[in-house]
């Protein structure tokens, strides 16, 4: 839905201004909610558990200089179809910083490391065919079908978690090769015949996707976005979007206020929180909770209905781990690599090169490893030092330059699965369990469903999980629900650290 349309709806439905609203979490969803609610005339307070604002938007800078090279430890690219994200990029005056993000498979000079064999991306499918044999060399199928299948497997191997890699191979073996054989694939090969246009293929052949296993079909949706040729980035770092939002809200953002319990009452919400080791309780007319369910499910929750509790408990989170190297030089440029990503081998998966130019006097940055799923978990279970050494040694096979003394000036890494404030990378709408028949595609509606005056937003509450777009859309939807809700009369009195709404206390605490 169009961002402006959603905001206009909020304005129309807003009969009464001046509601007092507490937002839990200062990630993109919380900040967008604060920004729009204030614009509609409401009073907002933000409680953030961690010492840092931004949540899963985290630009790590290697140095204090203004033009220091940086790595995105969280969100790094914006699909040009993500209208809500781009709306706020524009609204925050950052449009002139948008530039192309060169993604996986766009830089054909990038490398692949398959079981110790290192080759350029453009040579991958033919080498795959030879290596894996089986269906890829089965002469019952045309050369084109076999090459196409090998490309498909290459793409899935590079991007997806382990279960889906196996799932594609199974699907190919059982029926997808026959399906491919029926299609005219020639139009999807590049002129040199080395790469395939997966975007066009999937758009032209919905029947192919429909015949994939459910989990794989959903993952294809992600692959299409990740390999699209019109991804954008914010030059200078995604965190600029966060900081501009922070500058644009009047609300105080209280960092280090860790929410520990939420109790939903009839007309208000009671929140327990910890600050500097001391616990406090506060009461709010309305609350927007953007805390990930992976964190929420460990808290005391009262006044929630059973279905809601089940959604909080069962929403699936996929781990994600990133390891970035600050390098003395952008040595990969000498090898003709100007961005995009290599597949650096099992356990490390994608290595991204910057597609913005850094000031060479400060060195450069490679996102040496970006993993999700089982690979991310494995890296997350290592100590930081072990993880950094493992990534250095593995990527070092593709890029021996990394082993040169002093080439790696610094390292930054995060295992989002272990990160206290999200306990996971992002939610997934596909289940790990292929036999699980529950429909994860609609569970976001349950995740977003309010409980009296407690509203929910965040990527987990949206149909675009794992994207800023989803976090923002869910925030706009929560705002609509709040402003449409009949107001309750308020009169606050302060009780030390505890703000208690007298009238409601008298009526609601009875019994």
Please give the residue ranges that form the binding site for ligand FAD (CB under 6 A). 24-30, 47-50, 55-57, 74-78, 85, 258-259, 290-292, 295, 320, 322, 416, 421-422, 425-426, 458-459, 466-471
Closest C-alpha among 95, 88, 474 to residue 248: 88
In the complex, the smallest distance separating the C-beta of residue 280 from ligand FAD, rounded to whole angstroms, is 12
Query: 185 or 296, CB closer to ligand FAD?
Result: 296
Burial status of residue 131 (CB atoms within 10 A of its CB: 0-12, 13-18, 19 or more): middle
Neighbouring residues of 19: CB distance < 8 A, sequence distance ≥ 6: 37, 42, 43, 285, 286, 482, 483, 487
Query: 211 or 254, CB closer to ligand FAD?
Result: 254
In 98-245, where do the E strands start and end? Answer: 98-100, 111-114, 117-120, 231-234
In the complex, the smallest distance separating the C-beta of residue 297 from ligand FAD, rounded to whole angstroms, is 11
Query: 56 or 429, CB closer to ligand FAD?
Result: 56
Query: 283 or 426, CB closer to ligand FAD?
Result: 426
In the complex, the smallest distance separating the C-beta of residue 74 from ligand FAD, rounded to whole angstroms, is 4
Cα–Cα distance measured from residue 63 to residue 71, given in angstroms and rounded to the nearest whole number = 11
Query: 168 or 241, CB closer to ligand FAD?
Result: 241
Query: 72 or 171, CB closer to ligand FAD?
Result: 72
DSSP letter for 333, please: G
- For 151, the token pair is 């490309």
- For 496, the token pair is 């030390």
Task: Say how far residue 395 (Cα) sits from the centre of its chain.
Answer: 24
Closest C-alpha among 394, 397, 402 to residue 326: 402
In the complex, the smallest distance separating the C-beta of residue 52 from ligand FAD, rounded to whole angstroms, is 7
Query: 321 or 431, CB closer to ligand FAD?
Result: 321
- DSSP H helices, 305-358, are 306-314
Q: Give 253's strand partners.
A: 46
- For 511, the token pair is 């019994």
In the complex, the smallest distance separating the C-beta of residue 470 from ligand FAD, rounded to whole angstroms, is 6
In the complex, the smallest distance separating the C-beta of residue 257 from ligand FAD, rounded to whole angstroms, is 6
In the complex, the smallest distance separating the C-beta of residue 502 from ligand FAD, rounded to whole angstroms, is 26
């Amino acid at each position: 839905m169009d961002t402006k349309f959603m905001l206009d709806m909020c304005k129309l439905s807003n009969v009464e201004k001046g509601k007092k609203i507490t937002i839990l979490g200062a990630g993109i969803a919380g900040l967008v909610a604060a920004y729009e609610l204030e614009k509609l005339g409401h009073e907002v307070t933000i409680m953030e558990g961690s010492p840092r604002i931004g949540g899963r938007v985290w630009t790590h800078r290697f140095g204090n200089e203004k033009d220091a090279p940086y790595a995105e430890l969280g969100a790094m690219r914006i699909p040009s179809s993500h209208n809500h994200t781009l709306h706020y990029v524009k609204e925050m005056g950052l449009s002139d910083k948008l530039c192309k993000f060169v993604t996986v498979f766009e830089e054909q000079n990038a490398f692949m490391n398959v079981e110790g064999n290192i080759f350029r991306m453009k040579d991958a499918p033919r080498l795959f065919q030879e290596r894996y044999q089986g269906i890829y060399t089965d002469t019952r199928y045309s050369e084109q079908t076999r090459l196409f299948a090998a490309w498909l497997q290459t793409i899935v191997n590079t991007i997806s978690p382990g279960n889906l890699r196996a799932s594609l191979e199974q699907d190919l073996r059982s029926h997808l090769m026959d399906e491919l054989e029926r299609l005219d694939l020639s139009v999807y090969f590049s002129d040199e015949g080395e790469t395939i246009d997966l975007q066009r293929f999937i758009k032209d052949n919905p029947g192919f996707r429909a015949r994939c296993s459910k989990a794989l079909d959903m993952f294809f949706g992600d692959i299409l976005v990740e390999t699209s040729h019109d991804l954008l980035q914010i030059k200078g770092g995604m965190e600029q979007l966060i900081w501009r939002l922070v500058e644009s809200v009047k609300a105080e953002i209280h960092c280090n206020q860790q929410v520990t319990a939420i109790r939903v009452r009839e007309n208000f919400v009671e929140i327990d929180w910890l600050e500097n080791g001391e616990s406090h309780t506060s009461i709010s007319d309305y609350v927007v909770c953007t805390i990930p369910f992976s964190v929420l499910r460990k808290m005391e929750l009262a006044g929630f209905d059973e279905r809601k509790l089940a959604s909080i408990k069962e929403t699936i989170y996929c781990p994600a781990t990133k390891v970035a190297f600050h390098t003395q030089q952008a040595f990969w440029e000498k090898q003709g690599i100007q961005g995009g990503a290599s597949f650096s081998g099992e356990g490390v998966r994608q290595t991204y090169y910057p597609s913005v130019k850094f000031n060479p006097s400060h060195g450069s940055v490679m996102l040496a490893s970006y993993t999700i799923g089982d690979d991310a978990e494995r890296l997350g279970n290592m100590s930081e030092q072990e993880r950094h050494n493992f990534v250095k040694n593995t990527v070092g096979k593709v890029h021996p330059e990394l082993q040169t003394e002093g080439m790696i000036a610094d390292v930054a890494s995060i295992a989002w699965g272990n990160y206290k404030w999200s306990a996971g990378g992002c939610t997934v709408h596909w289940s790990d369990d292929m036999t699980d028949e529950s429909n994860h595609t609609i569970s976001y509606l349950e995740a977003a469903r309010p409980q009296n005056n407690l509203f929910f937003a965040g990527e987990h509450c949206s149909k675009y999980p794992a994207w800023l777009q989803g976090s923002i859309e869910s925030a706009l939807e929560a705002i609509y629900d709040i402003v449409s809700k009949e107001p309750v009369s308020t009169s606050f009195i302060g009780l030390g650290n505890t703000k208690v709404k007298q009238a409601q206390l008298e009526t609601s605490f009875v019994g």
